[in-house]
């Protein structure tokens, strides 16, 4: 997955210390693949996945819209050239003063999942569009979502009715099938739930217009994942099945699926050792770990492909850990990671598929280590 442009950059620039290199050509390809797979859907890039200004500018210029999690992300998207009407404030948890600030900036589309949030929006963002997030079970996702966001569909009806009664535009329903979702049927059940909310409110004269189908589109790590085209096909079929010939506006919010495979982290082997003379598992310590950008290895959830100059030679299982004095800073231990026997201290390794959820997750200065640097080329 390390493109030739990334390999050339690393070979010529030789950056010292761990760093992420992102290839914008891959991001552009991903954007076009989503456009082609779901031609009727608007693409709202999930800024939180990687807010590098170069990525935001590229996507803004290609016509992307943006899903944002905070006022800072709204401002980043606008700085990159996105007009306010192409930005959604997609976090269901917002301070009232942040809603007011976003409204001042021109934002008119907000996520909610309870009447309490609707009331904040009604107070400081009159007539704004709101969509209500419904809970899904996230089955089949490698990074399943908890119940943190969304409410049951029956409550979504109450929430949207309340929005309407307060003068807001009860605009639609959203869901998220779980990050790194590889089960193509996941969207079917959620779209069925969404349709029921549409139908119930239609009976009361409230005509919803939009379904926000969230993210969940995967990056290829160690296993193959379905293509964007396959996702598009499944989603289109589910939309037709549930909405017939009255398919609403739809939004998708790819984050990982847009940038995950565009980035590679270059890291260095700091130490290889054993814990006792007869230990059959080596410990390999890198100069990046869970607190330096690889937070998604939490519970060994995401298993990144790692390449070395020794690939193709004999391997043996290793525990892979980060460089900090924190014992939780271990990436893969329950399921050791096979690494070449000839790997040595000082070797460079490439951690692939790391374009999403790495730089901004990284700790500000834990153990004195600086946050992950990024080069967007």
List the interface residues with a second copy, window 310-369 (CB under 8 A). Answer: 321, 323-330, 333, 345-346, 359-369
Question: Of the two residues 11 and 325, which places its CB atom closer to a second copy in the complex?
Answer: 325
Which position among 275, 313, 338, 342 is part of the footprint of a second copy (CB under 8 A)? 275
Q: What are phi and psi of 149, to 5 degrees?
A: -115, 140
Which position among 154, 222, 247, 316 is part of the footprint of a second copy (CB under 8 A)? 154
Question: Of the two residues 239 and 331, which places its CB atom closer to a second copy in the complex?
Answer: 331
What CA–CA distance (Å, rounded) separates 329 from 363?
A: 12
Question: Of the two residues 37 and 374, which places its CB atom closer to a second copy in the complex?
Answer: 374
CB 31 within 8 A of CB 37: no
Interface with a second copy in residues 165-224 (CB under 8 A): 179
What CA–CA distance (Å, rounded) separates 66 from 114?
A: 23
Strands (E), 240-302: 249-252, 263-273, 282-286
Interface with a second copy in residues 101-140 (CB under 8 A): 113-117, 120, 135
Q: How far is the CB of 5 from a second copy (least distance, A)?
A: 26
Interface with a second copy in residues 2-21 (CB under 8 A): none
Question: Of the two residues 30 and 68, which places its CB atom closer to a second copy in the complex?
Answer: 68
Helices (H), 177-313: 186-203, 228-243, 256-259
**Integer angstrom CA distances of residue 326 from 32, 102, 141, 292:** 42, 38, 29, 12
Question: Of the two residues 36 and 274, which places its CB atom closer to a second copy in the complex?
Answer: 274
**Residue of 182, 135, 140, 179 lying closest to 155 (CA atoms):** 135
Q: How far is the CB of 330 from a second copy (least distance, A)?
A: 6
Q: What are phi and psi of 85, to 5 degrees?
A: -80, 0
Catalytic residue check, 132: no
Which position among 148, 244, 312, 314 is part of the footprint of a second copy (CB under 8 A)? 148
Q: Does 270 bind a second copy (CB under 8 A)?
A: yes
Token pair, residue 248, equals 């609403």
Decide: helix, strand or coil at residue 73. Answer: helix
Which position among 222, 271, 309, 341 is part of the footprint of a second copy (CB under 8 A)? 271
Taking residues 27 to 56 in sequence order and writing x for each that binds a second copy by CB under 8 A, - otherwise, the string is -------------------xxx--x-----
Which position among 94, 108, 162, 195 is part of the footprint of a second copy (CB under 8 A)? 94
- Non-local (6+) Cβ contacts of 60 within 8 A are 66, 77, 80, 81, 82, 86
∠ CA 352-354-357, nearest 5°, is: 165
Which position among 32, 36, 95, 241 is part of the footprint of a second copy (CB under 8 A)? 95
Residue that is written with structure tokens 């790819």 in the block: 254
Decide: helix, strand or coil at residue 173. Answer: strand
Q: Does 146 bind a second copy (CB under 8 A)?
A: yes
Residues that are catalytic: 325
């Amino acid at each position: 997955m390390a493109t030739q442009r990334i390999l050339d950059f690393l070979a010529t620039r030789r950056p010292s210390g761990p760093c992420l290199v992102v290839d914008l050509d891959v991001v552009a390809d991903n954007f076009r693949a989503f456009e082609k797979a779901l031609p009727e859907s608007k693409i709202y890039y999930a800024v939180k996945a990687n807010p590098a200004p170069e990525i935001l500018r590229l996507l803004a210029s290609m016509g992307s819209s943006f899903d944002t999690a905070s006022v800072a992300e709204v401002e980043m998207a606008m700085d990159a050239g996105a007009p306010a009407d192409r930005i959604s404030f997609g976090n269901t948890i917002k301070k009232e003063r942040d809603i007011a600030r976003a409204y001042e900036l021109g934002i008119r589309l907000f996520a909610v999942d309870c009447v309490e949030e609707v009331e904040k929006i009604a107070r400081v963002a009159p007539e704004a569009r709101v969509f209500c997030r419904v809970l899904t079970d996230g089955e089949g996702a490698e990074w399943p979502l908890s119940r943190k966001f969304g409410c049951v569909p029956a409550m979504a009806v109450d929430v949207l009715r309340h929005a309407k009664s307060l003068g807001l535009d009860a605009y639609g329903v959203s869901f998220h099938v779980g990050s790194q979702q590889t089960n193509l049927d996941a969207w079917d059940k959620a779209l069925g739930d969404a349709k029921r909310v549409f139908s119930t409110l239609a009976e009361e004269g409230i005509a919803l217009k939009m379904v926000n189908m969230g993210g969940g589109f995967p990056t290829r790590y160690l296993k193959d994942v379905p293509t964007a085209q396959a996702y598009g096909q499944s989603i289109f079929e589910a939309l037709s099945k549930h909405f017939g010939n009255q398919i609403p506006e739809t939004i998708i919010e790819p984050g990982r699926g847009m940038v995950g495979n565009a980035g590679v982290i270059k890291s260095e082997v700091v130490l290889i050792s054993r814990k006792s003379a007869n230990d059959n598992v080596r410990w390999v310590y890198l100069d990046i770990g869970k607190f330096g950008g690889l937070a998604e290895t939490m519970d060994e959830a995401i298993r990144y492909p790692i390449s070395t100059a020794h690939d193709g030679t004999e391997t043996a299982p290793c525990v892979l850990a980060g460089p900090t004095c924190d014992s939780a800073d271990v990436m893969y231990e329950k399921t050791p990671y096979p690494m070449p026997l000839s790997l040595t201290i000082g070797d460079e390794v490439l951690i692939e598929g790391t374009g999403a959820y790495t730089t901004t997750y990284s700790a500000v200065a834990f153990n004195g280590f600086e946050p992950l640097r990024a080069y967007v080329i």
